[in-house]
């Protein structure tokens, strides 16, 4: 299953706004860092954007743990590539 297909997870992306220019373009969102806190993963991108992956239920918490295990290998991948991660 892919992250974007999961009904047990919620993925929220907050674009970085700088000088009234929205730099959200997914091809420029390259993962820099990932931090786990309780029932969510926070992803930090090189362009300043931030995304949260949150568990909606206990099944989502299990999926979140599987995704977290793959995040180290995802550093340097784009926003779209991360949504297509198989777990």
Residue 57 DSSP SS3: coil
- Contact of 68 with 38, CB cutoff 8 Å: no
CA distances from 72 to 19, 20, 58, 60, 68 (A): 32, 32, 23, 19, 8
- Contact of 27 with 45, CB cutoff 8 Å: no
pLDDT tens per residue across span 4-63 = 899 999 988 876 555 444 555 666 789 999 999 988 999 999 988 899 999 999 999 999
Q: Give the global pTM.
A: 0.81
Domain membership of residue 19 as a residue range: 3-83
CA-based nearest residue to 46, from 36, 31, 34, 35:
31
Number of domains in the chain: 1
């Amino acid at each position: 299953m892919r992250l974007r297909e999961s009904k047990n997870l919620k993925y929220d992306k907050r674009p970085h706004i700088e000088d009234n220019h929205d730099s959200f373009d997914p091809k420029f969102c390259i993962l820099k860092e990932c931090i786990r806190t309780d029932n969510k993963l926070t992803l930090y991108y090189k362009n300043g954007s931030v995304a949260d992956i949150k568990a909606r239920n206990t099944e989502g918490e299990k999926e979140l743990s599987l995704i977290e295990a793959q995040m180290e290998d995802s550093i340097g991948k784009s926003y779209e590539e991360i949504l297509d991660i198989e777990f």
